Amino acid sequence: MDLLKTADAPELTGAGDPASTIAGLMPFTMHGGGPLIDLAHMVCAALTFDIPGDMVDCGAWRGGASFLMADVLRRADATDRRVWLFDTFEGPPAPRPVEGPATLVSTQNTDTPGYYDNSRASLDDVRRTAARLGVAAHIRIVKGWYEQTLPLYRERLGPIAILRIDGDWYSSVRCCLENLFDQVVEGGLVIIHDYYAYDGCRLAVHDFLSEHHVAYPLESVIGPPADQLERAVIRKGKSTWKWLQQLYLTRQDIAAVIPSGATFALVDQQWFSDQVVGERRAIPFLERNGQDWGSPPDDETAIRELDRLQQAGASFLAIAWPAFWWLDYYAGLHRHLRSTFRCVLENDRLIVFELQR
Ligand SMILES: C[S@@+](CC[C@H](N)C(=O)[O-])C[C@H]1O[C@@H](n2cnc3c(N)ncnc32)[C@H](O)[C@@H]1O
């Protein structure tokens, strides 16, 4: 079953139609399409950029998000990585006052669709679904309270690339962080689903970070449709989750429109070209002797240099989002590109022109 068409590592092709493919997972997760697509991209990014380690899902429930991660591993033939599912499959512990008054009131309301039988799930169903989706070999299921299972399994887990914490309450979130945060590798991600939903979850994160003097920034993920604060992510590393996502998607964009083996001019962004070019050669624009030569003094120089690179074999020009200011600043170059060449891709990350008149 094709859960996510984008997940053909090492070079995943285009965005496809993830919404329709992820639709097959909806009965097995409480999450909407946005967080799931982001999650699939993060697993792909971990594979593409060699962020080592397994994926750990604390709060797997019916398994949908875990299956999605496992499907990415399956497609990439990443047999050395696993997705670990931790859950009681019998629901979370009873909420305590620390979860906040609004949460305590909402948990009394057992008639809403969001109650989900107090998050109970059948372990047999989870196993059956994993087998039906063809991802059973890529997952490991550990049933029980985090407080008992995580200390037991911590060593066996080893390095973690992505730690998802979706355990609702203070004690559960705190327990996941206490046991597993240190095992998340440099560059890896900790995704905290309930950070904006529950006071207790937020407090658990703040208490953990402060008591352990962890200085990594907490990044907010804003989700559509209403620009809601949806999740919080900690990326252990120098750059953010958002940056990792942009790099990964830009690499996919390039792979979708510039053929493997082609040479292209990349405007002003040599500092990350290694991570986005894949099986292509990027020449800095501007360049001298293969080295980045900085920004042009004027439009005429830029157009002359573009002609030169074209004659030297560059068949595309790509402008990534950090260089979009060129389009306003070098308005003459911009007009020249639009009037002379076909724009083969344009989105909020990348613009690519094919350099054939
Ligand atoms: C909101 S649900 C998770 C939803 C799921 N991630 C999804 O994709 O829809 C929270 C889950 O965390 C589990 N959970 C919470 N606290 C736990 C604990 N201390 N030990 C084990 N499981 C726990 C619950 O049983 C429940 O299945």
pLDDT digit string, tens, across residues 252-267? 999 999 999 999 999 9
pLDDT of 226: 76
**What pLDDT is recorded for position 12?**
35
CA–CA distances in Å: residue 291 to residues 19, 142, 205, 288, 294: 42, 52, 45, 5, 9
Q: 199 and 333: one domain?
A: no
Residue 299 lies in a domain: yes
CATH of the domain at 171: 3.40.50.150
Establish whether residue 166 lines the binding site of ligand 1, counting it when its CB lies within 6 angstroms of any ligand atom: yes
Q: Are residues 270 and 231 in the same domain?
A: no
- What lies within 8 Å, CB to CB, of 12 at 6+ separation is 6, 44, 48, 252, 255
Mutate to test the pocket of ligand 1, among 129, 168, 191, 193 (most ligand atoms within 8 A of CB): 168
Query: Which residues of the chain fall short of a pLDDT of 50?
Result: 1-17
Same domain, 282 and 235: no
Say if residue 158 is in the same domain as residue 188.
yes
Q: Does the CB atom of residue 269 touch ligand 1 within 6 A?
A: no
CB of 6 closer than 8 Å to CB of 38 = no
3 within domain boundaries: no
Q: Closest ligand 1 atom, CA of 30? A: 9
**In this structure, are 179 and 306 located in the same domain?**
no
For ligand 1, mutation pick of 26, 38, 68, 87 (most atoms within 8 Å of CB) = 87
- Kindly state the tokens that stand for 49: 């950029």
Asked whether residue 238 is assigned to any structural domain, the reply reads: yes
**Is residue 1 domain-resident?**
no
- The verdict on 144 and 204 lying in the same domain is yes
226 and 324 share one domain? no
Among the candidates 244, 271, 290, a domain finishes at: 244
- Domain co-membership, 91 together with 233: yes
pLDDT tens for residues 135-145?
999 999 999 99
- Whether 36 and 145 map to the same domain: the answer is yes
C-alpha 65 – ligand 1 centre gap (Å) = 12
The verdict on residue 2 lying in a domain is no
CA 287/CA 267 separation, integer angstroms: 10
Q: Kindly state whether residue 11 falls inside one of the protein's structural domains.
A: no
- Do 219 and 280 fall within a single domain? no
> What residue owns the CA closest to ligand 1's atom 13?
59
HSE (side-chain half, CA atoms, 13 Å) at 302:
23
Among the three residues 244, 269, 291, which one is the final residue of a domain in this structure?
Answer: 244
Q: Tell me the per-residue pLDDT of 6-59, one tens digit each, with 9 for 90 and over.
A: 433 333 333 334 555 588 899 999 998 889 999 999 999 999 999 999 999 999
Q: For residues 61 and 25, what is the distance between their CA atoms, to the nearest angstrom?
A: 13
Q: Is residue 102 a part of any domain in this protein?
A: yes
Domain check: are 283 and 219 in the same one? Answer: no
For residue 344, the CA-to-ligand 1 centroid distance in Å is 44
Shared-domain flag, residues 240 and 264? no
Asked which of 244, 275, 293 is the last residue of a domain, the reply is: 244
Q: Which structural domain range is residue 304 located in?
A: 258-354
Pocket of ligand 1 contains residue 91 by CB under 6 Å: yes
Specify the pLDDT at position 21. Answer: 59
Average pLDDT of the chain is 91
35 lines ligand 1 (CB under 6 A): no
30 CB less than 6 Å from ligand 1? yes
Task: Answer yes or no: is 182 within a domain.
Answer: yes
Distance 90 CA to ligand 1 centre (A): 9
What is the CA(169)–ligand 1 centre distance, in A?
A: 9
Total domain count for the chain? 2
